[in-house]
Amino acid sequence: MKKQTKIVLILAIGLVIAIIFLYPRMNWNNSVHVPSSTETKASAATSGSLLPVDVLEIKTERLENNLKVTGNVLPNESVELRPEISGLVESINFKEGQFVKKGTPLVYLNDDELSAQLDKLEFTKKLYEGQEKRQKQLLEREAISQEEYDVILNQYNTTLADIRLVKAQLDKMVIRAPFNGVLGLRRISEGSVIGSADVIANIVNIDPIKIEFSIPERYANQVTIGSSIQFSNNESQGMESGKVYAYEPIIDANTRTLKLRAISPNKDRKFLPGMFVGIQFNLDVEEEAILVPSEALIPELDGYKLYLANKEGLVMERKVSIGMRTERNVQITDGLKPGEFVLTTGVLQVKDGMKVKMNKIN
């Protein structure tokens, strides 16, 4: 009985050892996961997904090469009114801020002495005029010599010259407007004696106005007479236009710039001399330019490149040459043609020959 118990115990221990040894293996085999067909397809789709990118179809468009600079407003004409000769101010014939036309009398100086001199010369002229006629008749009858006639003729001509001189001085006793313009503040009063150093008032013509500005010397060869500009200041609404009418024939050695002047109407007089204005100077216009966003362009040591995609989404690398730049775009002068698709996103992830998922943008 004891021997049977011993055999049973040995079998039980063997069974336990067998279970301990086999059970983990049976559990591992049963825990192996067999992928379903759906999961297999999902995994295959994930491993074969395409990189989504934005592409832009190339089209030609109008490109204006505008240079932004600052300038200042100048009057069309401007002078300080001064008398040519000294005199007593007899009357003032204008109001401050008044618009006057060219030739309008503004100030009268006392001309009593000159008027008296003119009267005296007129009497002398009549005297010599009569003597000259009589002497000429005597000369024709050979009653006097040519020398005697020449003396009286010279006296007559000298008197005529003196009359013209006095009349010229009388004209200077009236100060007139030299051009159409607006008068500034008056600096004299009636009864004051003024000379050539005294300023009567300023007169300016501000319709049209002139815009003076400078551009870097590298753009000097692109300047042409008649080039258009757009300008404005902080107080004005919208942009005003003007035309370049002249420029300096030399480059400023200190600033390395070229000075230009443009002219523009100013009928409502909202721009005054001395104002600063922001200017857009139109250097050039390209009617059929090819532009790409600046983020699509990749700089390299020997130039620039970008990536294209065909209709099937196949990526191609392309070397290009660039031209003008705007705030957002770059002009492509060589390497692109209308109708091609340029990648604007994902340019750092794609490679030549890679296939992508295209999203066309306008």
pLDDT in tens, 168-202: 999 999 999 999 999 999 999 999 999 999 999 99
Same structural domain, 267 and 315? no
- What's the confidence (pLDDT) of residue 338? 92
User: Which of 136, 166, 194 is the C-terminal boundary of a domain?
Assistant: 194
- The tens digit of pLDDT for each residue in 277-317 reads 999 988 777 888 999 999 999 999 999 999 999 989 999 99
101 has pLDDT over 70 = yes
CATH code, domain carrying 348? 2.40.420.20
Domain with 135, as residue range(s), is 79-194
- The tens digit of pLDDT for each residue in 204-215 reads 999 999 999 999
Same structural domain, 262 and 188? no
Same structural domain, 244 and 332? no
**pLDDT grade, residue 327 (50/70/90)?**
confident
CATH code, domain carrying 141? 2.40.50.100
Total structural domains in the chain?
3
- The tens digit of pLDDT for each residue in 25-75 reads 554 444 444 444 444 344 434 435 889 999 999 999 888 778 889 999 999
Contact of 117 with 166, CB cutoff 8 Å: yes
Burial level of 181, CB count in 10 A (0-12/13-18/19+)? buried
Residue 257 lies in a domain: yes
Same structural domain, 217 and 295? no
Same structural domain, 181 and 84? yes
- What's the confidence (pLDDT) of residue 16? 65
Residue 305 lies in a domain: yes
10 has pLDDT over 60 = yes
- What's the confidence (pLDDT) of residue 24? 53
Residue 308 lies in a domain: yes
Same structural domain, 247 and 224? yes
Same structural domain, 243 and 291? no
Residue 15 lies in a domain: no
118 has pLDDT over 70 = yes
Same structural domain, 280 and 314? no
- What's the confidence (pLDDT) of residue 33? 47
- What's the confidence (pLDDT) of residue 56? 92
Same structural domain, 222 and 235? yes
- What's the confidence (pLDDT) of residue 2? 58
User: Which of 285, 317, 339 is the C-terminal boundary of a domain?
Assistant: 285
Same structural domain, 187 and 87? yes
**pLDDT grade, residue 23 (50/70/90)?**
low
**Residue 28: both structure tokens together:** 């591992």
C-alpha–C-alpha distance, residues 69 and 57, integer Å: 33
For the chain, give the secondary structure using H, E and C. Answer: CHHHHHHHHHHHHHHHHHHHHHHHHHHHHHHCCCCCHHHHHHHHHHHCCCEEEEEEECCEEEEEEEEEEEEEEEEEEEEEECCCCCEEEEEECCCCCCEECCCCEEEEECCHHHHHHHHHHHHHHHHHHHHHHHHHHHHHCCCCCHHHHHHHHHHHHHHHHHHHHHHHHHHCCEEECCCCEEECCCCCCCCCEECCCCCCEEEEEEEEEEEEEEEEHHHHHHCCCCCEEEEECCCCCCCEEEEEEEECCCCECCCCEEEEEEEECCCCCCCCCCCEEEEEEEEEEEEEEEEEEHHHCEEECCEEEEEEECCCCEEEEEEEEEEEECCCEEEEEECCCCCCEEECCCCCCCCCCCEEEEEEEC
Same structural domain, 333 and 317? yes
**pLDDT grade, residue 18 (50/70/90)?**
low
- What's the confidence (pLDDT) of residue 29? 44
User: Which of 165, 194, 223 is the C-terminal boundary of a domain?
Assistant: 194
Residue 46 lies in a domain: no
3 has pLDDT over 70 = no
- What's the confidence (pLDDT) of residue 239? 87
**pLDDT grade, residue 76 (50/70/90)?**
very high
- The tens digit of pLDDT for each residue in 123-175 reads 999 999 999 899 888 888 888 889 888 899 999 999 999 999 999 999 999 99
Residue 87 lies in a domain: yes
Residue 296 lies in a domain: yes
Residue 10 lies in a domain: no
- What's the confidence (pLDDT) of residue 54? 93
Same structural domain, 147 and 212? no
CATH code, domain carrying 276? 2.40.30.170
261 has pLDDT over 50 = yes
**Phi and psi (nearest 5°) for 248?**
-65, 140
- What's the confidence (pLDDT) of residue 22? 61
271 has pLDDT over 60 = yes
91 has pLDDT over 50 = yes
